[in-house]
Amino acid sequence: MAGFIISGLKPLPCIYDRPVAGVISRSSSKSRFLTKNKNFPDLKILNPIKSRNWGLNVSAPFRVASVEEDEGRKERNHGINGFEEQEQEAGFDPGAPPPFKLADIRAAIPKHCWVKDPWKSMSYVVRDVAVVLGLAAAAVYVNNWIVWPLYWAAQGTMFWALFVLGHDCGHGSFSNDPKLNGVVGHLLHSSILVPYHGWRISHRTHHQNHGHVENDESWHPLSEKIYRSLDTLTRTLRFILPFPMLAFPFYLWNRSPGKSGSHFDPSSDLFVPTERKDVITSTLCWTAMAAFLVGLGFTMGPMQLLKLYGIPYWIFVMWLDGVTYLHHHGHEEKLPWYRGKEWSYLRGGLTTLDRDYGWINNIHHDIGTHVIHHLFPQIPHYHLVEATEAAKPVLRKYYREPEQSGPLPFHLIGSLMRSLKNDHYVSDTGDVVYYQTDPELKKNAS
């Protein structure tokens, strides 16, 4: 079923080489990292196999390079000011290399924004778990069909909040203690049927390759060749609402078209041999939770389990798919995707988008402040808003202000629908490419 939803009726070959810059090579049993690249010299990627750090190994160095010296700072400021004058004379090109470096953005962010407070992080876990249990108890006590839909919406949103906290554990932004991150991450993610390590590792690939056509992992564009190879049913499931918003559980079992591997299989090409024990641990935790739910179904009845857990779970899936999609799609103007020498960690990260979710911002831990999170995923979620405000003068037009939301983010439904109607594939060639539209699919989606 999973392969049918994500990859269509026929298996699709992986026609692209494995990532060669800043990622793990799956063609060898050994890990291979690029430690120096002229495209993003300010980025140092740690080897997770040597360090055994369960956090995402994507960060910018705390030491600022010599360009931070006074003379270097003057030169950079002059470059940014010159860029401002150029903006006024000609239109802004979002695919052009920025006049600043990753270190410039880091230097603008206050030092305390990098500090991780495990007690504060745990307080959010306690809060969210208490709300989840309270909502379930209240729904069972009232047991009224007027209340159940409200419960499903609220509890599904809280499941999504739990996922975000587990996501922070995967990044290492929850605390500096890998064991604490691993324990909390497993408890939170397993409770909502997410394999913690399996997802953590593939999500690391996403962050290390964001904005790259072939090497990105999350909601990356299909090349025209792959798109044309899809049958009508697969295109419908991928681009016609509501089906794309139900994709996450199937993606865990079988990745997007053009890619292979399962998040549950320790021998999958998603992982290197030294990560297999971690993947087995997460798969066992997932299996234990699934067995627990089956037991609950026999105890309380399948209908009660569906009302208490099943429907909120699918609301959570829709939150996850919708939020992650909109962080990389749906801007009023087309944003670039990169290949080859045009791609860099910085340029890829600058094509992500912040979103405003109104009242939900606090509930799901400000995950809408996505640009700074993508560039510096080690910043705790409770500092992302302040860090973003501090970085805006450096980012300038490379930062796109999100449309302000009402109490609930209904405005994002329009952005989602517009993108799914128009953003279908990118050219098979070119190092800076933009989404193109299949007129027939757009007609069917209208």
DSSP string computed for 3-39: HHHHH-SS-----SPPP-SSS--SSSSS-------TT
**Does residue 45 form part of some domain?**
no
With a CB cutoff of 8 Å and minimum separation 6, the contacts of 407 are 358, 359
Distance CA 282, CA 197 (A): 6
- The Cα-based distances of 290 to 44, 165, 195 in angstroms read 38, 21, 11
- Please check whether residues 70 and 9 belong to one and the same domain: no
**Does residue 256 form part of some domain?**
yes
Question: Tens digits of per-residue pLDDT, 278-296?
Answer: 999 999 999 999 999 999 9
**Does residue 157 form part of some domain?**
yes
- Please check whether residues 426 and 368 belong to one and the same domain: yes
- Please check whether residues 101 and 203 belong to one and the same domain: no
Instruction: Give the confidence band of 173 by pLDDT, cuts at 50, 70, 90.
Output: very high
Question: Tens digits of per-residue pLDDT, 76-134?
Answer: 444 444 444 444 445 789 999 999 999 999 999 999 999 999 999 999 999 999 999 99
- Please check whether residues 289 and 415 belong to one and the same domain: yes
What is the helix, strand, coil percentage profile of the chain, to 5? 55, 0, 40
Burial 420-440 (b: 16+ CB within 10 A, else e): bbbbbbbbeeeebbbbeebee
Count of domains forming the chain: 2
With a CB cutoff of 8 Å and minimum separation 6, the contacts of 346 are 39, 40, 42, 43, 98, 101, 102, 375
What length is written for the chain? 446
- Please check whether residues 98 and 155 belong to one and the same domain: no
Distance CA 234, CA 367 (A): 30
> How high is the mean pLDDT of the chain?
84
pTM: 0.81
Contact of 270 with 198, CB cutoff 8 Å: yes
Asked if residue 345 has pLDDT above 70, the reply is yes
- Please check whether residues 173 and 101 belong to one and the same domain: no
Instruction: Give the confidence band of 351 by pLDDT, cuts at 50, 70, 90.
Output: very high
- What proportion of the chain, given as a percentage, has pLDDT over 70? 80
- Please check whether residues 330 and 350 belong to one and the same domain: yes
- The Cα-based distances of 424 to 188, 305, 428 in angstroms read 34, 37, 13
- Please check whether residues 170 and 216 belong to one and the same domain: yes
Burial 271-289 (b: 16+ CB within 10 A, else e): bbeebeebbebbbebbeeb
**Does residue 37 form part of some domain?**
no
- Please check whether residues 91 and 234 belong to one and the same domain: no
- Please check whether residues 168 and 73 belong to one and the same domain: no
Domain residues for the domain of 359 are 2-30+53-61+110-445
- Please check whether residues 100 and 148 belong to one and the same domain: no
Distance CA 321, CA 329 (A): 12
- Please check whether residues 281 and 206 belong to one and the same domain: yes
- Sign, CA dihedral 204-207-211-212, equals negative
Distance CA 53, CA 321 (A): 27
Q: For 149, which DSSP code?
A: H
pLDDT value of residue 260: 86
pLDDT value of residue 90: 56
- 3-class secondary-structure state, position 223: strand
**Does residue 138 form part of some domain?**
yes
Q: Where are the alpha helices (DSSP H) in 172-254?
A: 178-191, 196-208, 224-229, 232-239, 248-253
Mean pLDDT of 313-324: 98
Distance CA 57, CA 142 (A): 46
Type of residue found at 326: L
Asked if residue 19 has pLDDT above 50, the reply is no
**Does residue 213 form part of some domain?**
yes
Instruction: Give the confidence band of 445 by pLDDT, cuts at 50, 70, 90.
Output: confident
When comparing pLDDT for 291 and 6, which is higher? 291
- CA–centroid distance for 56 within its chain: 12
**Does residue 39 form part of some domain?**
no
**Does residue 38 form part of some domain?**
no
